[in-house]
Structure 1
Amino acid sequence: MYDICIIGAGTVGANIARELAKYKVRVCLLEKEEDVSCGASKANSGIVHGGYSDEPGTVKAELCVKGNRMYDQLNKELHFGYRETGSMVLGFRDEDTKTLEKLYQYGIQNGVGGLSIIDGDKVREMEPYVSKDVKAALYCANAGVTSPYEFVVALVENAVTNGVELKLNTEVTGIEKRDDYFIVSTNKGKIQASYVINAAGVYSDKIASMVGIDDFKITPRRGQYVLLDKEENYLASSVIFQVPTELGKGILVTTTYHGNLMVGPNAEEIDDKEDVSTTEEALEYIVKTARLSVPAFNMKKAITSFAGNRPVSNKKDWVIEESRVGRFINLVGIDSPGLTASPAIALKVIEILKSAGLNFITKPDFEPNRKPIIKVKEEAFKGDINAANPDEHIICRCEQVTEAEIVDALHRDLPIKSIDAIKRRTRAGMGRCQGAFCRSRVKEIIARELMIPIEEVTQRGKDSPGLPQRVKRGDYTKF
């Protein structure tokens, strides 16, 4: 019998699990995929937003600003990768100034620090490669970038270290409410819990319907991206937006935490929650629109494209509440800036649980710290693909990932055995060649370290091939 069952190990569920790990409560975290961070949490912009985009008084606005201010301390404890870069919202026409002023006022009311409206000359002084057509911009010093999948991995790893039970490959198939507890049916048996937290992202409406709640609907909003080589990262030092539309914050240009240039996303509402494909038409639109902000990026340096689905609900704001089914906590429509707000969402859920009757006693032995997996390589680093020392033995040439880093990832508290799980923790396979050189070598290390047959090592779980043919890269040059 658990005190709390959390459904969904994305960024919201992971933050809640880690926050609950500070208390003497028995918690299980369920994830239907083979690893954590397999939904929108691994396929988003990785932007830690300042908090000026959302209407004052909304849950989004309140929690975005609070969450933003929590990242620096979280990164000091968990070492997932965070850098405060600042952001700009570019205006190209005289009428865009009204939008910038509106966002500025939103930011002031929301309590955002480091805000100013700057003219085009100042924009180009700070970002020399921005278009000459930019007339003004809203600058926010408090925005930054993070590695979203590493953030989730770090949170869950630390939660498990502190007593949370993680159950991967565990899909919820039904929920039955008894007097003061729930029976959660899964593909791996039944779980009893006094409280259930629905953090299932695009599937949160499906989970809620299992207890008879059907007054909201989640529509997947797909966002596609293009990732370019690190050689292009000189083009942007901050996160560069355009004035937003009703569908979102628009096409951005940014340097990722690990140094790639990235452009996107678009916003398209789709029917299939599993459809994370990319299309030539959308990528062409993204590239064309991004060039309005930063014209000079070289599409010959594009290394991959990807997409993620954001959970957009038919509600005007996020819903974070104890539902009409007592002790069933709903988190509905946590779209952008959900990544930014997720640490603050977790604190709000703790307060909801307290109000719902759960008794919280602080753990005196909670361990807040987690060591990084990726080791920063100094200029004097002498890695080699033939080195005998695991600390110097290079497995992934593009990202300089060593054997020791992969072995470290495999022997931590999260049970993993897929090539993609290693990629999310070490970046092996994320470079120019997209795993063509290192994929088979990573597979051999996984099999050796876990003492399993090599054919059991798959790309991304039980339904994926063990060693797929390399996917032909798109012809990005025509964009």
Structure 2
Amino acid sequence: MEQYDVAIIGAGVCGANIARKLSQYELDVALLEKEIDVSLGTSKANSGIVHGGFHDHISTLKARLELQGALMFDRLHEELDFPFERCGILVAALHEDEMRAIEQLYLQGVENGVIGIEMCSRERMLELEPKLNPDVVGGLYAPSGGILEPYRFVFSLVESARKNGVQVKTEFEVAQAERDGEFWQIQSKAGETIRARYVVNSAGLHADTISAAFGAERFTIAPRKGEYYLLDRTTKAKPSRVIFPVPTEVSKGILVIPTVEGTVLIGPTASPAQDKEDFATTRDQLEHILHSARMMVPSISENDVITSFAGLRASYGNDFYIANSEKAPAFVQVAGIQSPGLTASPAIGEYVKDLLKKAGLRLVEKPSWDPYVHKVPRARDADPYTLDTLVAQDPAYGDIVCRCERVSEAEIVKAIRAGHTTLDGIKYYTRAQMGRCQGGFCTYKIIRILMRETGMSWDQITKHGGNSAILKGSL
């Protein structure tokens, strides 16, 4: 039976940051994920924003970790292979009475210590973003806010953690656990068992189920669905900064987000969901998204929509729940991580490390720890001369598999060899299938490359593992 110092349950953005942080120490660490790949839960379907630090008061844990985490992304971007840009955030007031809320956000941002935060006149808002509705009356500007690609962030964190000794176990769905002396004995639904001295519960939507399995605190994660539209990179409505409306008590509202890879994201909604696997989109909610987004950026056109999707947030109370369990020994809760969880996640890694130390985990720094990962060259980022050099080194760079996003066969192969053996895993690693045709042109080619590289037959290729086979029947 494999034995570890720490087992982390859930390989989303929080679990990945915790794993990478712990990889800096002389520890045996396991990262357990129930899906076939990492980042296939909440982390794959969110807004991809590094928040500005003004939405929540500094008295809350989420605000403190948001502010700390936001400052860590420049260094992480330097060390890891994920797209990131500090483009700034605007909050647009479309009515005079909304300026009171803008003032409160500004004062809260100042109290929180947000760098460069600014209350803006109508003229200043239109100067910062000409695509805004000309009826805007004023707003707020936080230049430190930014955008990133969340799944690539998680992939890079996990790659770094694995490089530094963390064992990543996918398709390990925790079924039960029991305390055996100084260890937790953890069994998966498939029957695999491991032992760990300490356990971190970062299971996202299923953190309540995991907590119950360990005899820890009883609580309920209530999923909240957020639906999105994705607009083609050719849209004329692409802003240069993230645009927020004035927030409500329930939600930060429908946003217009220039993604770091050139497309535009609008959304999300915020509606209660009964099922933790409910990723359906509805026409009514998508109409609401279009209407709300056009209030801020009138040039948004439904003709530019290339896909819609939904994500679920792990809603629990008004703050993050990160603490050593008071009921289960050597068990750390990391639950209720909704917005601004992505921004806070690097700081959550630090915070959980300190909680584990407080619980008795001995931490000895690893002299050989290497923070850098190998950055994969991307055909779409290369100028003609650089691309010629890449093709000379690997002719597969000359075969563009995904025309919309200019993804080469070489990048597909690198994704597969990094362990991403589903269509979704390859999509999130390379962006193939994410363009205007949404995989209509390249999916067949990717399936052929998957079969060649892995030895899988055509009926073993899945979208995201489990019962998501792409091709069924007989040839």
Shorter chain as normaliser: what TM range?
Answer: over 0.9
Structure 2 residue aligned with 1:392: 398
Q: Secondary structure at the match of 2:384?
A: coil
Cα deviation, residue 234, structure 1: 5.3
Q: Deviation digits for residues 180-210 of structure 1, max 9, x if unmatched? A: 2111111231111000100001110111111
- Provide the identity percentage: 42
What is the distance in 2 between the residues matched to 1:39 and 1:379? 35
Give the alignment partner of residue 72 of structure 1, picking from 71, 74, 81: 74
The answer to whether the 8 Å contact 1:221/1:312 transfers is: yes
Residue 37 (1) aligns with residue 43 (2): no
Residue 407 (1) aligns with residue 413 (2): yes
Structure 1 residue aligned with 2:420: 416
Give the alignment partner of residue 160 of structure 1, picking from 162, 180, 183: 162
The farther-off stretch of 146-155 and 87-96 is 87-96
Structure 2 residue aligned with 1:270: 273
What is the distance in 2 between the residues matched to 1:44 and 1:126? 25
What is the distance in 2 between the residues matched to 1:419 and 1:309? 21
Distance 1:89 1:215, change over 3 A: same
What is the distance in 2 between the residues matched to 1:60 and 1:356? 22
What is the distance in 2 between the residues matched to 1:166 and 1:174? 19
**1:292-303 aligned within 5 A:** 292-303=295-306
What is the distance in 2 between the residues matched to 1:378 and 1:357? 49
**1:54-453 aligned within 5 A:** 54-188=56-190, 189-232=192-235, 235-313=238-316, 315-324=317-326, 325-373=328-376, 375=378, 376-380=380-384, 389-412=395-418, 415-453=419-457
Q: What letter matches 1:460 in structure 2?
A: H
What is the distance in 2 between the residues matched to 1:59 and 1:378? 42
Distance 1:101 1:230, change over 3 A: same
Q: What letter matches 1:358 in structure 2?
A: L
Q: Secondary structure at the match of 2:234?
A: helix
TM-score norm. by structure 1 comes to: 0.94
The answer to whether the 8 Å contact 2:237/2:300 transfers is: no
Q: How many residues align?
A: 464
The answer to whether the 8 Å contact 2:217/2:325 transfers is: no
Q: Deviation digits for residues 95-126 of structure 1, max 9, x if unmatched? A: 21111111112111222111000011111111
Cα deviation, residue 416, structure 1: 2.6
Structure 1 residue aligned with 2:459: 455
What is the distance in 2 between the residues matched to 1:399 and 1:141? 29
Q: Deviation digits for residues 271-308 of structure 1, max 9, x if unmatched? A: 10110110000000011011110011121110000110
Q: Secondary structure at the match of 1:391?
A: helix
Cα deviation, residue 468, structure 1: 8.0
What is the distance in 2 between the residues matched to 1:153 and 1:342? 14
What is the distance in 2 between the residues matched to 1:468 and 1:453? 11
What is the distance in 1 between the residues matched to 2:250 and 2:471? 38
Q: Secondary structure at the match of 1:390?
A: helix
Q: What letter matches 1:410 in structure 2?
A: I
What is the distance in 2 between the residues matched to 1:219 and 1:11? 19
Q: Secondary structure at the match of 2:223?
A: strand
Q: Deviation digits for residues 15-60 of structure 1, max 9, x if unmatched? A: 0001111111001111111110011100000000011101221101
Cα deviation, residue 389, structure 1: 2.0
The answer to whether the 8 Å contact 1:220/1:270 transfers is: yes
CA RMSD of aligned residues (A): 1.8
Cα deviation, residue 379, structure 1: 4.5
Cα deviation, residue 2, structure 1: 0.6
Q: Secondary structure at the match of 1:230?
A: coil
Q: Deviation digits for residues 346-369 of structure 1, max 9, x if unmatched? A: 000000011111111111111111
What is the distance in 1 between the residues matched to 2:371 and 2:303? 43
The answer to whether the 8 Å contact 1:406/1:426 transfers is: yes
Cα deviation, residue 467, structure 1: 3.9
Q: What letter matches 2:169 in structure 1?
A: K
What is the distance in 1 between the residues matched to 2:375 and 2:236? 24
What is the distance in 2 between the residues matched to 1:253 and 1:142? 17
Structure 1: 5+ residue stretches without partners: 470-479
Structure 2: 5+ residue stretches without partners: none
What is the distance in 2 between the residues matched to 1:338 and 1:422? 24
TM-score norm. by structure 2 comes to: 0.95
What is the distance in 2 between the residues matched to 1:114 and 1:123? 15
Q: What letter matches 1:63 in structure 2?
A: L
What is the distance in 2 between the residues matched to 1:468 and 1:137? 53
